[in-house]
Amino acid sequence: MTVQQLGAGASSDRATHWHRIDWVKCHREVRRLQARIVKAEQAGKHSKVKSLQWLLTHSFSGKALAVKRVTGNRGKRTPGIDGVIWSTPGAKLRAVSSLNRHGYQPRPLRRIYIPKADGKKMRPLGIPCMIDRAWQALHLLALEPIAETTADPNSYGFRSARSTHDAIGQCFIALGGRACAQWILEADIRSCFDEISHDWLIANIPTDKAILRKWLKAGYLHNRVLHSTDAGTPQGGIISPLLMNMTLDGLERTLRVMFNRRGRNVSKINLVRYADDFVITGATREVLVDEVRPVVERFLAERGLSLSPEKTRITHIEDGFDFLGMNVRKYGRKLLIKPAKANVQRFLRKLRDIVKDNATVRHDWLIRKLNPLIRGWANYHRHVVSKRVFGKVSLEIWRCLWRWARRRHPNKGARWVRRKYFRTVDARHWVFGTETGKVPSTGAPELLALHDIANTPIRRHRKIKAAANPFDPQWESYFEERLGFEMMDSLKGRTRLIRLWWNQGRTCPTCSQPITKSSGWRLFHLERVIDGGTDASRNLVMLHPDCHQIARGQRFSVVKPAPATGLWKA
The DSSP secondary structure of 240-277, one letter per residue, reads HHHHHHHHHTTHHHHHHHHH-BTTB-TT--EEEEETTE
3-class DSSP state for residue 81?
coil
- Identify any residues that bridge with 334 across adjacent strands, giving them in sequence order: 331
CATH fold, domain 475-553, is: DNA Binding (I), subunit A (1.10.30)
| Residue type at 502 in one-letter notation | W
| Residue type at 452 in one-letter notation | D
Query: Can you tell me the distance from the alpha carbon of 117 to that of 106, in angstroms, rounded to the nearest whole number?
Result: 31
Query: Can you tell me the distance from the alpha carbon of 456 to that of 452, in angstroms, rounded to the nearest whole number?
Result: 7
Give, for 117, the enclosing helix (H) or strand (E).
none
Query: Can you tell me the distance from the alpha carbon of 68 to that of 2, in angstroms, rounded to the nearest whole number?
Result: 21
Pairing assessment for the beta strands 109-115 and 122-127 based on DSSP bridges: antiparallel
Distance of CA 38 to the CA centre of its chain: 23
Query: Can you tell me the distance from the alpha carbon of 102 to that of 90, in angstroms, rounded to the nearest whole number?
Result: 23
Give, for 428, the enclosing helix (H) or strand (E).
strand 428-438
Identify how many contiguous H helices and E strands the chain contains and give both numbers.
20, 16
Count CB-CB contacts under 10 A for residue 530.
7
Phi-psi region of 83 (alpha: psi -120 to 50; beta: other; left: phi over 0): left
In DSSP notation, 473-518 reads: GGGHHHHHHHHHHHHHHHTTT-HHHHHHHHHTTTB-TTT-PBP-TT
Domain definitions of the chain by residue range: 341-455, 475-553
Query: Can you tell me the distance from the alpha carbon of 399 to that of 405, in angstroms, rounded to the nearest whole number?
Result: 10
Query: Can you tell me the distance from the alpha carbon of 292 to that of 296, in angstroms, rounded to the nearest whole number?
Result: 6
Q: Which residues contact 337 (CB under 8 A, 6 or more apart)?
A: 168, 171, 172, 326, 327, 328, 329, 384, 385
Pairing assessment for the beta strands 109-115 and 220-222 based on DSSP bridges: parallel
pLDDT in tens, the chain (570 residues): 334 343 344 445 567 889 889 999 999 999 999 999 999 999 999 999 999 999 999 999 999 999 999 998 888 899 999 999 999 999 999 999 999 988 899 999 999 888 877 667 788 888 999 999 999 999 999 999 999 999 999 999 999 989 999 999 999 999 998 889 999 999 989 989 989 999 999 999 999 999 999 999 999 998 888 988 888 888 888 999 999 999 999 999 999 999 988 778 889 999 999 999 999 999 999 999 999 999 999 999 999 999 998 889 999 999 999 999 999 999 988 999 999 999 999 999 999 999 999 999 999 999 999 999 999 999 999 999 999 999 999 999 999 999 999 999 999 999 999 999 999 888 888 999 998 876 666 667 788 999 999 999 999 999 999 999 999 999 999 998 888 888 888 888 788 888 889 888 889 988 889 998 888 888 898 888 777 778 888 888 999 988 888 888 776 433 333 333 333 333
520 HSE (CA, 13 A, CB side) = 8
Phi-psi region of 164 (alpha: psi -120 to 50; beta: other; left: phi over 0): alpha
The pTM (predicted TM-score) of the whole model is: 0.88
Q: Which residues contact 480 (CB under 8 A, 6 or more apart)?
A: 514
- Identify any residues that bridge with 220 across adjacent strands, giving them in sequence order: 109, 227
Phi-psi region of 275 (alpha: psi -120 to 50; beta: other; left: phi over 0): left
Q: Are 154 and 170 in contact (CB under 8 A)?
A: yes
Q: What is the 3-state secondary structure (H, E, C) of 355-381?
A: HHHCCCCCHHHHHHHHHHHHHHHHHHH
In DSSP notation, 29-65 reads: HHHHHHHHHHHHHHTT-HHHHHHHHHHHHTSHHHHHH
Q: Are 514 and 480 in contact (CB under 8 A)?
A: yes
